[in-house]
Amino acid sequence: MSTFGSRPTAEELVAFRERVRAHIAQHAPPIEAREGHRAPKDADQEAQLRRWFAGLFDAGFVGADWPVEYGGSADHHPLHDRVVSEEILRARAPRPVDQVNLAAHVLLHFGSEEQRRRLLPPIRRSEHVWCQLLSEPNAGSDIAAVRTRGVRQDDGTWVIDGQKTWITDGHWADMGLALIRTDPTSSRHHGLSVFAVPMSAAGVEVRPIRSIGDAIEINEVFLTGVVLDADSLVGEIGQGWSIIMAGLDFERFGIGGNVILLELLIDDLVTVARNALIDGVPALTHPDIRQTIAELTVEVEVAKSFIDDHVERLIAGADMPGDGSIAKLSFAETYHRVSVYGAELAAAAADVASTDTAVRQAKERLRECWLWSRAYTISGGSSEMMRNILAKRRLLLPSG
């Protein structure tokens, strides 16, 4: 059974969407969202992003799913979140930091009352941006293999030592949600615990990693003798695996809004094909190009249809094992295929006119999407892991 509020009517959703659009038009910063370039470039952009995110909380468009006593809305429904995500993407406005939503979800469900009072208000004010300190050099998508260790001291504090990598937004995050091995005799899913780590703590060193798109989005984080108070532990000792899995499951709703990225890719692809020349004529007049774009458009519609159905089943509490993996896999692989072809077409086609800004922007976005597309097939669980989950949970195939 669903635990959500009453489903909004079509008219109510239209009215809500108009409110969201008006807010974006009035308050979005003059920073166009770019794939693979989501982190701020400088202090001024960071200040603009923090004001923008705080404003979304204030308006009730982000964090509305929180309990009312912590700032949420009594009439919240997941479809509201999807509308917000869709409209932000369509406006090419900066998207809220995903890791903040996951951290808030973990704190609300597993944090102590003191932790919620202390850590949730700075999130709503956007004073705290969070990152996820999960992956490690030898434990990328397989986070059950983490080796970063935490040792409890006689005074109740913890000393953390280890290395995390591929940490999105780590270079400007204020807090990190860390998965740490607190039982040195344990292995795999056992003996793991979750901690809230101030990124300014002594012993925390962040080393940015420049991506193929010439941006700083991800980082290495070294934890050397980092001392954490006892109240930095989130949940119970050894509960880490179930906490992080519950947090990652929460992200399944987010993919519903992200299908708009597939629509935007097709829009840019068609813009290039209609307005750029190959052999002296518009690319879209070539039968092979027209056929390929039609096939990719069908793939996008298939991905959207499954994800739409997936979100509806989640809302109804009727999702099946592996649904989230299919949705994530469908989105990531379709995004990659469309962006690869779009980048190839953009590179082969000549602009109709060098002053055609729309075509140039579409070509540049396709190139950036292609460079970033592999990240979608890895982050949140690689495509290989998604297929493995499907084999075990959906097809019930034996392990080994």
- Digit-coded pLDDT (tens) for 52-96: 999 999 999 999 999 999 999 999 998 999 999 999 999 999 999
- Inform me whether the pLDDT recorded for 332 exceeds 50: yes
Q: Tell me, what's the pLDDT at 250?
A: 64
Confidence of residue 1 (pLDDT cuts 50, 70, 90): very low
Q: Tell me, what's the pLDDT at 291?
A: 98
Q: How many CB atoms lie within 10 A of CB 46?
A: 14
- Inform me whether the pLDDT recorded for 313 exceeds 90: no
Q: Tell me, what's the pLDDT at 2?
A: 41
What are the chain's domains?
10-96 (no CATH), 130-237 (2.40.110.10), 243-394 (1.20.140.10)
Mean pLDDT for 10-32 is: 97
Please work out, in degrees rounded to the nearest 5, the angle formed at the alpha carbon of residue 107 by the alpha carbons of 105 and 110: 100
Backbone φ, ψ for residue 318 (5° rounding)? -120, 25
Q: What is the pLDDT of residues 133-183, one digit of tens each?
A: 999 998 766 778 899 999 999 999 999 999 999 999 999 999 999 999 999
Average pLDDT score over the chain: 91
Mean pLDDT is lowest, of 19-28, 101-110, 345-354, 370-379, for: 345-354
Mean pLDDT for 10-21 is: 97
- What is the per-residue DSSP string for 283-317? GGGSHHHHHHHHHHHHHHHHHHHHHHHHHHHHHHT
Q: What is the pLDDT of residues 265-282, one digit of tens each?
A: 999 999 999 998 998 899
Q: Tell me, what's the pLDDT at 325?
A: 82
